[in-house]
Each structure stands twice: as structure tokens, then as C-alpha cells.
Amino acid sequence: MTLEPAHKADRKPVYLAVYDTLADWETGHTTAYLARAGHEIRTVGLSGDPVRSVGGLRIQPDVTLDDVRPEDAALLILPGADLWDTGDELAPFARKAREFLESDVPVAAICGATAGLAREGLLDDRAHTGAVSFYLAATGYKGGDRYVETDAVTDGRLVTAGPTEPVAFAREVFALLGVYEGEVLDAWYRLFHDSDAQAYEILEAAGQ
């Protein structure tokens, strides 16, 4: 299914962070439909060395983190990974997220990446969600009163979601970037989240 995006003005690359143990299932809807909307998806690693996802996929980064500038990007996506909870190896990605947000460029974080942002202090003053509230509370962050019990949250230029909500995560990103809107955005979500056959008809009509 191919849909034309609602807006075509900004087609800067979208940067997908890649690192060992990244959760394959969390960002596929997002990147696939951003690519169909005309965004180049570029993988970014700490170095140029290949990484391997939790599902065993070998990924060769397109660029290194030091080479990514917010002004040249439409979005930074941070997937979950075991490494977010086993040390500070992925902390540079959270610091890069700070650069993006301070430059008013969107960031989308899911699962363990939300803990990385919490440790960086980026969730202290923003509404957010994640896997579960006590998971983020264990980071010692100060944003517990801004935690929202829902599938995905957008606050300003930041999207957050838990590991079981890749479709809601994608929906929030599409809305933030203006890729799909209104009835079409709702239909896309209902098709992929609820297997609503009637939603398919709406998307087909929009594609024509």
C-alpha cells in the first residue's frame, strides 16, 4: 500500500540509531512509511562498525553519530536495546537527542531508549511514557509526575512509547512530521493496530 504524504516540503533524512541488541520490531512501521513518504532513512552508529540486532540482523551504519547534525535532519529515532540498561555505552545517543531537541528537531524514543533520555534529564519536564512507570523511576530521574499511562505520547518535538506499541509510536511520528493527517492517519492506525478492514478502504481511496 502506497500513500502520498500530506506534506512534501521537508524531506530531510531521518536518522535511525543502530547498536547491538536493538529491538528489531519497534521501529519497522515508522521507518517503512517514512521512506514511502519520501524520507531517506539513514542508520547511525557510534562507529562505522556493523552492529547486530536482538533478532540477529547485521546492520552496517551509514554514518557515525559524530557526523549527524540536527539542522540536516528531519528526525532522530532511538530504538530500545538491552544495552540501554547495562551501562553507559549508549549515552552518546541520549546526548545527541538533547542536541536535536535544543535545535527544535524531533526525536522519537521507544522502550529502553526512554530510560536513556530519562538519565539525560530530557523527560524531567516533558510528558512521556515508556514500558512502565517504575522502569523509568529506577533511573532516578525527576520526571515521574509527567509519566502518562498510555500507548504513546508526543510533547513538543519528542515522541515516546513502550516496547509493545510500535504502531502507536509510528502514528505519533507521522502526526508530528505531517506525513499523514486526520482521517487517513486514523485509518492507518486502525488498519495496522486493529486489523480494521474498513480502514483499508479509506487508505486505498487516499492513495488514489
For the question of residue 111 being annotated catalytic, the response is yes
What sign does the dihedral 186-192-193-197 (CA atoms) show?
A: positive
What sign does the dihedral 23-28-34-38 (CA atoms) show?
A: positive
User: What three-state secondary structure class fits 88?
Assistant: coil
Please state the three-class secondary structure of 27-50 as a single string. CHHHHHHHHHCCCCEEEEECCCCC
**One-letter amino acid of 28:** G
Residues in the chain, how many?
208
- Identify the active-site residue in 3, 44, 111, 136: 111
Q: What is the DSSP string of 109-140?
A: EETHHHHHHHHTTTTTTS-B--S-HHHHHTTT
Tell me the three cell numbers of residue 134. 517504575
Distinct helix (H) and strand (E) counts, the chain? 7, 9
User: What three-state secondary structure class fits 154?
Assistant: strand
Which residues carry out catalysis?
Answer: 111
